[in-house]
Structure 1
Amino acid sequence: MTTNLQVVKSLSPKKPHVNIKLKVLEIETMSIKTFDQGKPFLDLIVSDEDGDRISLTIKHFLKAKYENILKPQNNYLFNRVFVNNNTSRSKNQHSNHACKLMLEAKTTVLPVESSDWSGDGGFKFISFADLLAKNLEEGVTADVIGMVTKFSEEKQYGNTDDEQSKYRVINLRDLEGLSLSCTLWGKFMRLFYNYVNSEEEKQCVILIL
């Protein structure tokens, strides 16, 4: 059995190789000219059992090895994962840790069962009060939940008449009664609007973003 398990809060480049148990929240294939010779790599958001998040990168030469193993909302034991400084300028509310993780050829990944993960299904919701008070840096991403109370008319941005240029502004309300506007774009906007206005029985609609 693996010992000396770390948690996200304890990670530091001063100890570059650690063993850690993590839940995979999101997996995205990315390609950046200035990273990994521009080849597609995997960018993951993961969290430990305390709900603390960190980003994890799988470079192109290991992509094929792990993309069929790692699945969102599954838990894994990572042995000998590399800890590096997080120098990305795209830090966000999901991965604003000073460090980031990277799998190496010697890293082993084992599925594990656990019911100890905290948090709301992997979400880390930001309060409307913090958003309205602008307590977050501009450009970060965040999880938001609210009740849909209003839709605006469909509008178009710019002169390009394509689906992605269409948008609607909706109002969301939280449990404290605070309201927040949110812009939905393109295909997602249309699918969501059609769902809310379907002929099914009208009911309260909660949106998680």
Structure 2
Amino acid sequence: MANDNNNDGNLSFVEQLDPGQSFWNIKVRCIKKWRQSYRQDYVFIDEKGHQIQACVRNELIPNFEDLIKEDGVYVLRKFGVGVQGDLYPVVGLKKKINFYRCTSVTPVEAFSGDPYGFHFWKFDDINKGKAVEVKIVDVLGRLAWCGDLDIWTTKAKETKRLIFDLQDLEGVVLKCTFWGDFANEFHKYVSSNTQTNEMNDKFSTRIFFNEDLDEANKLRRSLIAKGDKEGTSTTLTQLSTQTNYPLRNDFLVVTPRKYVEDILETEKDKFCVVLATTTTLEPEYGWYYIACRTCQFKVYSKMEFLTKASEIPEGFEEAPGESMWCVQCKNMANSMMPKLKFQFKVQDKTGSVSFILFDKEVMKILGISAIDIRDRQLKSDDMDSFPHELDGLLNKLLAFKIKVSAYNIDNQKYVYTIKQFTDDPEIISELMENDDANDQDIPEPQVGEIDTDAASVTGGSLACEVVKDTAIGLGKRSNPDLNEDNKSFVSPGVSSEANQDKTSTNKRAKKKNMKYNA
């Protein structure tokens, strides 16, 4: 919505921007920034995935140059919208954002849309000339060949040139050329194989090397699978050495692996990884909330706000009774949107537990947002039912990174918030292999007389589970590495966190093997 009266509350989307109006406000993510001799340019993307080019004229560059960084999220207020008249526009939109002296830039954290909005072209279509009219395209491929750095001389000047080949999953090769400083920097990267993840030229191109992007990870996994199937071991080895990307590190190296029973018994707040299958949605807890578009936090009615706010903002008493308020922004929420938040159960071999999932993570696997669902419900006049789109999450084996908080522990609340999850087959396969290795290490117990105080029998089951430690002939042996103070196994040279994981595994092994004939 436009803001001719300089009211800077409402936030718009790119599709709503109109050159016929004076001032606008919007929330965007900066995906590209570059400097020309006479102006500063940006490419922004909104939460609906729409891109727009923006420019700052030369005399205003000092006001904004240090405020806006690539990959940052910002609320822009009081800017103008003009007609796109550039000779070589970067975004195929007939309008662009113009910064004014009165334009304000506010950094924010939350962004629920696609981070880059890639639209990758098939190499075959580019080779056939179908992209000539588009001019600016996104491509994704493996570096198959790289030539030497050449000196290219023309009558006007001398510059550097680098020719290289990209290859897609079908084996189609795309011939590419870098010029000038960009060619020099790319040649350095290829020659030294440094850990640089991206590189920018002085214009609108942006290059990512082995970046942790969903699209790049999917291509990498597909190429590895294809190389394994076709027996191309060289390609497979090269790609496998590149799979130590941040997501893999987070799930397999940095964050400790836990089972459901472990997190239910945790006495310290921590992050952990759980491998489990989604089983049941819990519609009784709802599926969305109304959020402030600026910060993504839930908004409240005036009465609810009074019970949650630490201080009452100016103008609160005069505000309409039906107004909604944001505790995070400490102000009335003029721009709001629905955000997904729903609860469901997962299960592994030790038990089941409830997790809470939010909008951003759902988008990754289902490709749908709360806005999409509400639009569909409005069109079908079905506003009250639990959305069937969420059924697509069921019966999937996923790796979850969750937060066991002090609130969970102190209040014995066994519902945990998902910080991140993945269906990456490499990560899941490695987690499963680790599970199998732990199971193979479990020793066979020596069973003696059963103490009825030491076991509980559930229903008609032939298995009983030890619920407290008693000497019942389990074949206990003294161990020089056993710490007598806390009765935990201490491995030399291993961190306390790793020892806790091993202790947890031993407890689980004991429970797994305590089965007896009736």
Q: Secondary structure at the match of 2:42?
A: strand
Residue correspondence of structure 1 range 72-151 to structure 2 within 5 A: 72-92=70-90, 95-119=91-115, 121=116, 123-137=118-132, 140-151=135-146
Find the counterpart in structure 1 of residue 262 from structure 2: none
Aligned to 1:203: 238
Bigger shift: residues 72-81 or 109-118: 109-118
CA-to-aligned-CA distance 1:128-172 (integer Å, 9 cap, x gap): 233123222358233322111123455443379x9833x343221
Mind listing any 5+ residue stretches in structure 2 that lack a counterpart? 1-6, 195-236, 243-518
Counterpart AA for 2:114: S
Q: Secondary structure at 1:171's aligned position in 2?
A: strand
Q: Which is helix-richer, 1 or 2?
A: 2
The alignment-based identity, stated in percent, is: 27
Other-structure match for 1:35:
none
SS at match of 2:159: helix
TM score, norm. by length of structure 1: 0.75
- Equivalent residues in 2 for 1:17-32 (5 A)? 17-31=23-37
Is the 2:149–2:183 contact (alpha carbons within 8 Å) kept by the matching residues of 1? no
Alignment match, 1:15: 21
State the Cα RMSD in Å.
3.2
Matching of residue 174 in structure 1 with residue 206 in structure 2: no
Q: Following the alignment from structure 1 to structure 2, what is the Cα–Cα distance between the partners of residues 72 and 98?
A: 23
**Which amino acid counterpart does residue 27 of structure 1 have in structure 2?**
K
| Counterpart-to-counterpart distance in 2, 1:136 and 1:130 | 7
Please identify which structure carries the higher strand content.
1
Q: Structure 2-normalised TM-score?
A: 0.33
Question: Aligned residue for 1:43?
Answer: 41
Deviation at residue 195 of structure 1 after TM alignment = 4.3
Q: How many residues align?
A: 193
Structure with larger Rg? 2
SS at match of 1:5: coil
Q: Please tell me the residue identity of whatever aligns with 2:128.
A: A
Distance in 2, Cα, partners of 1:170 & 1:29: 26
On the 8 A contact 2:166/2:175 being kept in 1, the answer is yes
Cα distance in 1 between the residues matched to 2:59 and 2:193: 50
Tell me the amino acid that sits aligned with residue 130 of structure 2: N
**CA 198–4 in structure 1, closer or farther in 2 if over 3 Å, else same:** closer
> Structure 1, unaligned stretches of length 5 or more?
32-39
State how far apart, in whole Å, the 2-side matches of 1:65 and 1:18 are. Answer: 19
Contact 1:55/1:100 (8 A) holds in 2: yes
Deviation sequence 1:64-120 (CA, Å, 0-9, x none):
11111111110111112101111111113xx2211011111222211111231214x
The secondary structure found in structure 1 opposite 2:153 is: coil
State how far apart, in whole Å, the 2-side matches of 1:107 and 1:17 are.
9
Secondary structure at 1:55's aligned position in 2? strand
Question: Which deviations, in whole Å up to 9, do the C-alpha atoms of 1:33-89 show, x marking residues without a partner?
Answer: xxxxxxx32111111112221111112232111111111110111112101111111
Secondary structure, in 3 states, of the residue corresponding to 1:4?
coil
